A and B are shown apart, each in its own frame.
Chain A
Amino acid sequence: GAVVSQHPSWVICKSGTSVKIECRSLDFQATTMFWYRQFPKQSLMLMATSNEGSKATYEQGVEKDKFLINHASLTLSTLTVTSAHPEDSSFYICSARGGLAGVDEQFFGPGTRLTVL
């Protein structure tokens, strides 16, 4: 099956700093990538959708200036949490779609656990 990786798998940072999370599709070209956030014991919440080479589409309530998304190539999308605060501590998961004929599903990365002190 298609493989999606994330880096780093976990990160701890100080309040006020920015953190970048990478999402890569390893064996297929992802025309669309998605970013989710998941708080403990809760479900995944879609944050934004990004298409290669265009601006991301953010879900209602997600601050685009705080969560910067770049999808510069068909295999890489990045999420930058700017000026992170403790309430941004969460599990961030990306997914990728596209490139596999006849496959209509998203492939999820392993997630990145962000802890803001």
Chain B
Amino acid sequence: LAKTTQPISMDSYEGQEVNITCSHNNIATNDYITWYQQFPSQGPRFIIQGYKTKVTNEVASLFIPADRKSSTLSLPRVSLSDTAVYYCLVRPAGANNLFFGTGTRLTVIP
């Protein structure tokens, strides 16, 4: 399984766009990139998943360069309620097991 590396923590002011980058140098051809969000004392919540280029949903955008060795989760205009830990995972399509890395603790400041 490809190992992922993310910043341990980030701070941002309310209303700003936040970009969290994840490195996955050993990503395999059939691997997808998935991001989860976890609030304190809650289970993780799926945010977005992609394979290449750009994916956008109502919550976030995911940018993946051509070499796929990294990905960037973009959260537009964050609010205090976006304070959470964000995990980047890389796994083959249809794979059962999810292995969570350290995640990025995002703190949104008023």
Contact = CB atoms under 8 A, between A and B. Distances in A.
B42 interface: yes
A43 B99 CA distance: 9
Interface residues of B, number: 21
A32 B96 contact: yes
A111 B42 contact: yes
Contact of A111 (B32, B43, B96, B103): B43
A67 interface: no
B13 interface: no
B41 A111 contact: yes
A34 B34 contact: no
B97 A108 contact: no
Q: Which of A46, A49, A94, A113 has the most CB of B within 10 A?
A: A46
A28 interface: no
A89 interface: no
Contact of B96 (A43, A97, A113): A97
Contacts of A4: 43
**Interface residues of chain A: helix, strand, loop or mixed (majority):** strand
Given A44-B44, A93-B43, A111-B43, A34 B103 contact: no
Contacts of B97: 34, 46, 49
Contacts of B87: 43-44
Interface of A: 4, 6, 32, 34, 36, 43-46, 49, 91, 93-95, 97, 104-111, 113
20 contacts: A32-B96, A36-B100, A43-B101, A43-B103, A44-B44, A44-B100, A46-B97, A46-B100, A49-B96, A93-B43, A95-B98, A97-B96, A104-B49, A104-B94, A105-B34, A108-B43, A108-B44, A110-B42, A111-B42, A113-B41
The 3 closest A-B pairs by CB, nearest first: A108-B43, A44-B100, A43-B100
Given A49-B97, A111-B43, 13 more contacts: A34-B98, A36-B100, A43-B100, A43-B103, A44-B87, A45-B100, A46-B98, A93-B44, A104-B94, A105-B49, A108-B43, A109-B43, A111-B42
